[in-house]
């Protein structure tokens, strides 16, 4: 459907159409459409701009990725549909591997995502070779299946997907960097570095932070950053309640 | 997909499957899945329970509906998929008409929604007779098309759908009651009575408020109620941030 330009939510509705077209091309799951909607709500609350606390987290993430021995970017259909170029750029600049890992598991969809990423310029995408399958201990969902050369072997992980397995991956000794618009979610609270931002905006900033990063040291307190994020959202609400 | 019972968001994921099944049956638009996701996020923020300010709004809505001359319940695919029985009960108890009105317009989907509501017990559902078409002045989207015997003639309207046309309908002299989980949205801010609640919980409470209503007078300040709702969300965030 064509959104009338007069609609006050024109921009947001057009991004929505992008994810719908990802669905039409077999990359995005139905449940992925819902997840995107959840993201829209939180983005609305943070004011649809990158918060100060997110910039701090992005800088810490850049240094962590650049100093990792074996970093892996784990992607799902939504992120592949929204910013394939950025995934590839980030992988290149941080020498990370890319692995496809889906909560709503589907081999056909997985293959379509791999193809989509390769069309966008990715050289190697892990996650579809059954002989490389390994399991994460401590979770039930189909996402426990990981690639022995990818997530299984990684020291630093950046899962660009809804997470129910951050704790299990941490138990396996990995450092977790995550994008999560909900600072209260289990994933946000469990990760080592949580970037509370829209993944499209945040990925671009992360790429440019990786380009600029000079130091190899990082001092970052995720609990503090999350508290700041919540505080910024509260202040936004306060300001808007006053304007209302 | 079967959600493992061990998943911490089991209940919410199961409601999600309900809307996905509505999609599979042709009632819900792809964009409707996204809208439901947005709702999930806001429901999360209000604590997945009906706030005090919503109860006040529900009581005011009950009296307003019961004293209306010509009230209309406007429905879309999402609400038809989630609570058809409640729509019909509310229509019966408040002597309201039911009209189907879609943002993402599609005649086939409209017919499926009408059929779904009739299967659930609705006697008459407006919105599919082209000879009854009228237009709302001042909006561009396909939703400007309304039924001359329904929304066009209504004095009180309860649109159970995402709204971009509340102002236009108010300009046409109608009293607008709306469910909106986002107290900051234009719809929420423009309506006469905004019920900031999950529509499934809220509809049940509205039906029981209609059954109990004794007075015919209503004193309600939407601006005040919205400020309370925003304040309750802020306090929730504060409480959850402390627990985090």
B125-156: per-residue pLDDT in tens?
999 888 998 888 877 776 678 899 999 899 99
Q: Which residue of A has its CA nearest to B240?
A: A184
CB A200 within 8 A of CB A18: no
- Phi, psi for B176 (deg, rounded to 5): -110, 120
Residue A89 has pLDDT above 60, yes or no: yes
Ordered alpha helix ranges (H), chain B: 10-24, 30-45, 52-66, 77-82, 84-94, 107-119, 166-171, 186-190, 199-212, 222-243
The pLDDT score that the predictor gives to residue A86 is 95
Kindly indicate the confidence band of residue A13, based on its pLDDT and cuts at 50, 70 and 90: confident
- Measured between beta carbons, the chain A residues lying within 8 angstroms of B23 are 30
What is the spatial distance between Cα B100 and Cα B128, in angstroms, rounded to a whole number?
Answer: 8
Kindly indicate the confidence band of residue B124, based on its pLDDT and cuts at 50, 70 and 90: very high
Contact B36 A35 (CB under 8 A): no
> Which of B21, B28, B30, B236 should one mutate to test binding to chain A, selecting the residue with the greatest count of A CBs within 10 A?
B30
> Which of B41, B48, B140, B227 should one mutate to test binding to chain A, selecting the residue with the greatest count of A CBs within 10 A?
B41
Q: Which helix (H) or strand (E) holds A39?
A: helix A30-46
Q: Which helix (H) or strand (E) holds A84?
A: helix A84-94
Contact A38 B38 (CB under 8 A): yes
Kindly indicate the confidence band of residue B239, based on its pLDDT and cuts at 50, 70 and 90: confident
Mean pLDDT of B216-236: 89
Three-state secondary-structure class, residue B83: coil
Mean pLDDT of B219-235: 91
The residue with greater pLDDT, A139 or B23, is B23
What is the spatial distance between Cα A31 and Cα A41, in angstroms, rounded to a whole number?
Answer: 16
CB A65 within 8 A of CB A219: no
Q: Which helix (H) or strand (E) holds A193?
A: strand A193-195
- Measured between beta carbons, the chain A residues lying within 8 angstroms of B187 are none
The pLDDT score that the predictor gives to residue B8 is 60
At CB < 8 Å, which residues of chain A contact B? 1, 4, 6-9, 16, 19-20, 23, 30-31, 33-42, 44-45, 104-105, 140-141, 164, 182, 184, 186, 189, 223, 226-227, 230-231, 233-234, 237-238, 240-241, 244
Share of chain B above pLDDT 90, in %: 54
Measure CB to CB from residue A34 to each of B8, B37, B233 and give the nearest one: B37
ipTM: 0.78
């Amino acid at each position: 459907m064509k959104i009338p330009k007069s609609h006050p939510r024109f921009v947001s509705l057009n991004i929505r159409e992008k994810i719908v077209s990802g669905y039409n091309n077999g990359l995005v799951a139905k449940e992925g459409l819902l997840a995107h909607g959840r993201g829209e709500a939180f983005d609305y609350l943070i004011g649809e701009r990158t918060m100060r606390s997110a910039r701090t987290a992005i800088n810490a993430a850049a240094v962590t990725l650049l100093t990792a021995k074996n970093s892996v970017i784990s992607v799902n259909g939504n992120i592949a549909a929204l910013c394939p170029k950025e995934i590839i750029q980030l992988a290149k600049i941080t020498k990370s591997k890319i692995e496809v890992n889906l909560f709503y598991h589907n081999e056909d969809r997985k293959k379509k995502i791999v193809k989509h990423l390769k069309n966008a310029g990715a050289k190697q995408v892990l996650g579809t070779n059954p002989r490389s399958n390994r399991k994460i201990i401590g979770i039930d969902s189909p996402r426990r299946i990981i690639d022995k050369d990818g997530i299984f072997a990684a020291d630093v992980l950046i899962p660009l997907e809804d997470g129910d397995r951050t704790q299990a991956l941490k138990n396996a000794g990995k450092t977790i960097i995550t994008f999560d618009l909900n600072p209260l979610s289990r994933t946000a609270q469990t990760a080592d570095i949580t970037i509370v931002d829209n993944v499209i905006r945040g990925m671009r900033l992360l790429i440019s932070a990786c380009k600029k990063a000079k130091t190899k040291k990082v001092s970052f307190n995720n609990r503090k950053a999350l508290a700041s994020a919540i505080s910024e959202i509260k202040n936004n609400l306060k300001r808007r309640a006053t304007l209302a």
